[in-house]
Copies of this chain bind each other. A is one copy, B any other.
Amino acid sequence: MRRFLRRRDEADGGELSARERETFLLQMRESIEGRRGEANAMVHAAGLRTAYLELPPDGRHEFLGLNASELGLDRERLAELARAMLDADGDERRVAEEALRQALDAPWLRLLRLFNRLPDGTRFLLELRTDLLRLSAQDPALLPLERDLKRVLEAWFDTGFLELRRVTWDSPASLLERLAASEAVHTVVGWGDLKDRLDADRRFYACVHPHLPGDPLTFVEVALTRGIPDTIGAVLDQEAPTVDPTGADTAVFYSISNVEPGLRGVPFGHFVIRKAMEELLAELPQLRVFATISPIPGFRAWLESQDAAAYLDRQERRELDVHEFLARDWAEDERASSLLRKPLLRMCAAYLVDEATDAVLRFHLSNGARLERLSWLADRSPRGMAQSAGVMAHYVYDPGQVEANHEAFSGRGEIVASDSVKRLAREARQKRQRHAA
């Protein structure tokens, strides 16, 4: 269908004509009020969808604005009902609460549900939300609409309805192409790289809604290894020999990416990790360690903001100026990297444990993982160097500890980390205190 849609030429001017606004408004009302029945309402909804898909960005913004301004809450009625509820008691109060709740469902919700009933309707709603996320960043009037759409999608994409499916080299090429394009952490370079990630000692799981089986939502990539690998390069190396999976003791989650932009903010990560662990244990019961090899995306930016000298001891201060070193191509310079190693790992531990702001850290800790270890020069990719100064973190999921860890972090705000990482962070703290003193 999409193939035959003619996007209105931007050159014609993106804005809607008065006539178009009027038509859209009419169609929206017809759909929502449904006076001529469900079938007729769906015809109007279908017309609105086609029109929307043909609109250029500016027109889409206006279209959504029309929704937001004309199909929103009826505030007078809302105020009335709120007052009625405050006055009510007993059974009457229950009725008033229900009435208020219904009045807080904006009329646009009915339009969104109608869109969902069109063929391929759910896909359209996901595209709509992708637009809304972008546009509401500039135009807060769209926020309630965006939030309501999110709420609806959250209900429909509840993890209770999702499935984790293994992706292999026997999966449809179209699916593999889509997954490869969505790999946001470690770019897939060609079909050879992709095939390697689907080899006998790799696992690739996609999270899928049965209603959209060809549109994966999220995926996770796993390497089966003996011991936790120190560098992501070792994981991605296409020349490395294939390991017999039944001999592996460790499953390394080396990449988790979202595929569907329309579901941003709908949390699947926890589900995907839990289900993948279940699948892995069912298939390979000999696995002992579930670990990640993760970026530390905020480390370098934080580093830049610090007086690095404060984290060094006297000897180190003599030998290196951290910021100056980092500005160079230090990873290739053996002396530089050897001098940087200890101080940088120390600062990284401080950043993770004491700042506790790193998004990836917070994701894994809230899922019940423990920060286990830092690896030096573990990601030499341009992004790895630019964001994480080449350091990577390993989070370990210990099935027996997941609950306690989650409670420690989410309940008491404690950063769950191994002794060695804690020691590094303590060192950093002491050095800084001494320096401050």
Residues on A facing B (Cβ under 8 Å): 3, 35-40, 73, 75, 78-79, 82-83, 85-86, 91, 93-94, 97-98, 100-101, 104, 113, 116-118, 121-122, 140, 143-144, 147, 152, 155-156, 158-161, 168-177, 191, 195, 200, 210-211, 214, 270-271, 274, 366-368, 402-404, 406-407, 410-411
Interface centre among A86, A97, A116, A147 (most CB of B within 10 A): A97
Pairwise interchain contact A402-B171, C-beta atoms closer than 8 A: no
Pairwise interchain contact B40-A406, C-beta atoms closer than 8 A: yes
Find chain B residues with CB under 8 A from A104 CB: 97, 100-101, 104
Find chain B residues with CB under 8 A from A144 CB: 94, 97-98
Q: Select which of B118, B161, B174, B368 is within 8 A of A39 by beta carbon.
A: B368
Bound CA span A144–B91, Å: 10
Bound CA span A101–B147, Å: 12
Bound CA span A85–B104, Å: 12
A237 to chain B, nearest CB (A): 19
Pairwise interchain contact B173-A91, C-beta atoms closer than 8 A: no
Bound CA span A160–B46, Å: 13
Query: With A152-B155, A160-B117, A160-B122 given, is the CB distance from A147 to B37 under 8 Å?
Result: no
Bound CA span A117–B158, Å: 8
Pairwise interchain contact A368-B37, C-beta atoms closer than 8 A: yes
Bound CA span A86–B113, Å: 29
Pairwise interchain contact A36-B3, C-beta atoms closer than 8 A: no
Q: Select which of B117, B118, B403 is within 8 A of A40 by beta carbon.
A: B403
Q: Select which of B38, B79, B195, B410 is within 8 A of A86 by beta carbon.
A: B79
Find chain B residues with CB under 8 A from A161 CB: 116, 122, 156, 211
Find chain B residues with CB under 8 A from A147 CB: 98
A111 to chain B, nearest CB (A): 13
Q: Select which of B73, B155, B411 is within 8 A of A97 by beta carbon.
A: B73
Bound CA span A366–B35, Å: 11
Pairwise interchain contact A171-B169, C-beta atoms closer than 8 A: no
Q: Select which of B3, B121, B170, B404 is within 8 A of A173 by beta carbon.
A: B170
Interface centre among A35, A37, A101, A195 (most CB of B within 10 A): A37
Bound CA span A229–B287, Å: 43
A141 to chain B, nearest CB (A): 9
Find chain B residues with CB under 8 A from A93 CB: 75
Bound CA span A389–B6, Å: 44
Pairwise interchain contact B82-A86, C-beta atoms closer than 8 A: yes
Query: With A104-B104, A169-B173 given, is the CB distance from A113 to B403 under 8 Å?
Result: no
